[in-house]
Structure 1
Amino acid sequence: MLTSQTEKSFLTEDFLLHSGYAKILYHDYAKHLPIIDYHNHLPPAEIASNRKFENISKIWLAGDHYKWRAMRTLGVSENFITGQASDPEKFEKWAYTVPFTMRNPLYHWTHMELSRYFGVQGLLTSKNASEIYFQTSEMLQDQSFRARNLLESMNVEVVCSTDDPADDLSHHETYFNNPGKVELYPAFRPDKSFAIENPMTYASYLEKLGKAANLEIKSYDDLLGALGNRISYFHARGCRLSDHGLEHMCYSKDSNLSPEGIFSKVIGGTAPSTEEVIFFKHQVLKFLCQSYHKNGWSQQFHLGALRNTNSRMLATLGPDTGFDSIGDFDQATALAAFLNDLDSTNQLAQTVIYNLNPRDNEVFATMIGNYNDGSVKGKIQFGSGWWYLDQKDGMEKQINTLSNMGLISCFIGMLTDSRSFLSFPRHEYFRRILCNLFGQDVENGELPWDEKWLGKLISDICYFNAKNYFDFSNQNYTFK
């Protein structure tokens, strides 16, 4: 445990738990449960190789655009964010930034992560930055702080990575042949397969996809054949879950359009119209979702992000560097039509829908009830607070909305959606918030104090619902 404590930490054992009931629910029923992280962006290569991180900046600051946005807002030069400054200098600038993040979730996450992984009990500031940097970096050289061990230390049971259809899953195979205690599964993310807006970029991707599928993609039918091939490839290697990142669900019944005609146009180098983009994406997505259902997969849809809004910084740094925001897209009509189209032929797989705009909470919470058919507990799920909403207020609103308009008891709980091995205390954060809400209802006389029943509901939401929903333990697969 690090000894630097310039200020006393606010992270007591009862952090966020504001009633005796909440404390019982968390400490006795939620705290020690394993984690099923069914959606994240951890690099499989780093899990397979059991990466050793050179220092705290490498594992904590590199790739974390949440922190980058805060530093830019404070006026920190890009040189100390993604630039050529040394790792100690970058950490010192982050330490300088942290006290200014009060009331942003970064303040909570930062201190939870330092505490849970490294035993840091004080508050990170410029005063103790150097000491904490060198002590944590020294700890990271120990075997117990390598990638796999970090996951195990947080009681992670399952990790689902995010993988393009053209990926060869070689790192998953490496891990399969030399596994750790954590189960690692691929998840199918085919967004590039229908991203026809830029013909040149799309043609380049099709060449990559075709090589992976051992098929030259010259037609729309070839595209579907390649995707079907890759679904089978992923399935044979343990994949039972897909994910899609869309501004909004794409749905079109324009009888004047054909997917083959649009495909030929794009391959010929002509940019498609907005109507053609929506129609084409709908056709490919429908095929994919029918395939997921046939193979017994679950599917996820992350809807509502407005990406790459800063063209200058996109050209300089590329995507996923902190210049995306909440979009204000219409969601309900197309989403309902798309789900209904699949349900009408009984080809709607288990589905999780996530909104990024909080105005859509009630839309999504009521949408799921339209397609729950009694075949599976919580078949259609309103996903946990995502991205800008995976903070205290966002989680509480998602939990309350789902409670009011659905059954929170069927909810499959939290995920990290992160690229950082130090992000797993977010599950603890969620569990504390969840227990506090239930405990407050008991405190207010709005729920009975039936400890065993409430404890079961909490345990289900934190772990057992996801375990049963995805049923990873019942998979039979091989890399041969």
Structure 2
Amino acid sequence: MFDEELLLTNETGKKLYHKYAENMPIIDYHCHLQPQEIYENQEFQDLGEMWLSGDHYKWRAMRTFGIDEKYITGDSSYYEKYLKFSGILPYLIGNPIYIWCALELKRFFDIDEPLGPDNAEAIYQKTKKMIQEKHMTPQWCMTVSNVELVSTTEDPTDSLQYHLKIKQDPAINIKVISAFRPDKAFYCEKPVFPAYISTLEKAAATKIDTFAKLMSALEKRLIYFKELGTMISDCGIEDICFYDYQQSDIEVIFSKAVAGVPLTEKEKNQYKAAFVVEMGKLYYKHNFIMQLHIGTYQGANKSRENSIGVACGFDCTDDSTSIQSVGEILNRLTTAEQLPKTILYPLDASKVENFAVLAAGFCEGGTKAKVQLGAPWWFNDQVYGIQRQFEAVANLYPVSLSVGMLTDSRSFLSYPRHEMYRRVLCNYFGALIERGEYFSEEKYLKKMIENICYYNAKEFFGL
């Protein structure tokens, strides 16, 4: 049965969690929820929809068990997909999906028994009835989870129409903002780049025939996002190798990319380096936080991604982006005295310590934790990954300054991931205390835990 002392293996950790962390509000500063779904607030059909409509973590696990794609992303009903998923859940020992599902069943449906093929039908019927009786919707899930703010992720060309509608609706008490994510303008080598530039021209009402005008168009859209309350940016960097460049080089490369002319590896990297540096300057100018998600191998299984779709569970971790390349970007911005607040998210766990050292080297100017390591991300947002990051990074960058956890999720049931993070955090602190490695007054522990869970993010993002 579900145990309320989950992951709390020492008495001090239990005390710290229940006393200080358990009831803190959630600021989910990076996710992939759809603002249209938040606004329209439709009642969920069943647990199958809530769990499996867009969760590539579960899709990936189901494929490893040989489940046919029609029960994963195919046209089978959510009920059928739920039954297939329920059949494998008892066999996911050690996998975060098992704990996430247990937490979600407990927190949203008050179900503390383990789900498996034997009770799948009974739990399906019970949860379906509760969904109807409680009118479970996206906003209901967020309210029950004590969510104060979420930041979705949109392209610069997005109209943000649903963000505007949410903002104007007095019945919606949760603040919803959008992270400005210009990835499509970053990947100059992709075949869609020329068409995207045309789309951006229309959105910004600006002719884009030079790199300088590209930056001008993106600034116009950045200002538009800012006017709707956004202060966060994001860039997904699959890989980058910093090459020195002159502005004239980038103009030539941009012209070639827009014309669909193939670029050399050096040209791709020169463009990308210049792009991140120039966007960093814009973020500094407009007081945006720059988030860099680093080290993904997108669509490793190209044939399945081509037939099924992107963000469907075929991506993995990559180690091609060097610390030095990211460091040179930060150095260029520092030299120009235009380094914005920055969060680094390395997906390659073997580089977490190195990125922590890098971040600490660029903290200056009276801004607390100006450059910092982000929460364990994607494949690392599980108990082992969270614990590993605390233990590795605390030696190199103060854990007490962290802006805490995020969901990075497409699911409205994913907020217990914050709970899991908080449990691991308090257990980690408790272990240090019981080993005699920390013996300051409890008031400092209280402040650190509450800051990591909530107040640091509130301060860092200027909320």
TM band (smaller chain):
over 0.9
Q: Partner of 2:68 in structure 1?
A: 77
Q: Partner of 1:210 in structure 2?
A: 201
Query: Over aligned residue pairs, what C-alpha RMSD do you find?
Result: 1.4
Residue from 119, 128, 145 that aligns with 1:154: 145
Residue from 85, 104, 107 that aligns with 1:94: 85
Check whether the contact 2:52–2:78 (CA below 8 A) recurs between aligned residues: no
Check whether the contact 2:26–2:147 (CA below 8 A) recurs between aligned residues: yes
Q: Partner of 1:445 in structure 2?
A: 436
Residue from 382, 385, 395 that aligns with 1:394: 385
Per-residue CA deviations over 1:322-370 (Å, capped at 9, x if unaligned) read 0111112142111111101101121000000011111101111101111
Tell me the CA shift for residue 69 of structure 1.
Answer: 1.0
The alignment status of 1:335 with 2:326, answered yes or no, reads yes
Q: Secondary structure at the match of 2:24?
A: coil
Q: Secondary structure at the match of 1:141?
A: helix
Q: Secondary structure at the match of 2:394?
A: helix
Distance 1:318-1:257 versus aligned 2 partners, 3 A rule? farther
Tell me the CA shift for residue 312 of structure 1.
Answer: 1.2
TM-score (norm 1): 0.94
Equivalent-residue separation in structure 1 for 2:44 and 2:135 (angstroms): 12
Amino acid in structure 2 at the alignment position of 1:284 = F
The alignment status of 1:190 with 2:182, answered yes or no, reads yes
Per-residue CA deviations over 1:70-94 (Å, capped at 9, x if unaligned) read 1111111111111122221110000
Residue from 204, 228, 237 that aligns with 2:219: 228
Equivalent-residue separation in structure 1 for 2:49 and 2:411 (angstroms): 10
Amino acid in structure 2 at the alignment position of 1:442 = I
Equivalent-residue separation in structure 2 for 1:87 and 1:405 (angstroms): 46
Tell me the CA shift for residue 414 of structure 1.
Answer: 0.5
Equivalent-residue separation in structure 1 for 2:15 and 2:423 (angstroms): 11
Q: Partner of 2:426 in structure 1?
A: 435
Q: Partner of 1:422 in structure 2?
A: 413
Aligned residues: percent identity?
A: 39
Tell me the CA shift for residue 257 of structure 1.
Answer: 6.4
TM-score (norm 2): 0.97
Residue from 352, 357, 367 that aligns with 2:348: 357
Amino acid in structure 1 at the alignment position of 2:318 = G
Provide structure 2 residue ranges, at least 5 long, that are not aligned to the other structure. none
Q: Partner of 1:471 in structure 2?
A: 462
Equivalent-residue separation in structure 2 for 1:471 and 1:198 (angstroms): 35
Q: Secondary structure at the match of 2:91?
A: helix
Equivalent-residue separation in structure 2 for 1:140 and 1:337 (angstroms): 51
Equivalent-residue separation in structure 2 for 1:142 and 1:197 (angstroms): 51
Tell me the CA shift for residue 401 of structure 1.
Answer: 1.8
Equivalent-residue separation in structure 2 for 1:390 and 1:23 (angstroms): 21
Check whether the contact 2:240–2:320 (CA below 8 A) recurs between aligned residues: no
Residue from 257, 274, 279 that aligns with 1:266: 257
Q: Secondary structure at the match of 1:172?
A: helix
Check whether the contact 2:294–2:346 (CA below 8 A) recurs between aligned residues: yes
Q: How many residues align structurally? A: 462
Check whether the contact 1:442–1:449 (CA below 8 A) recurs between aligned residues: no
Q: Partner of 2:269 in structure 1?
A: 278
Equivalent-residue separation in structure 2 for 1:42 and 1:317 (angstroms): 20
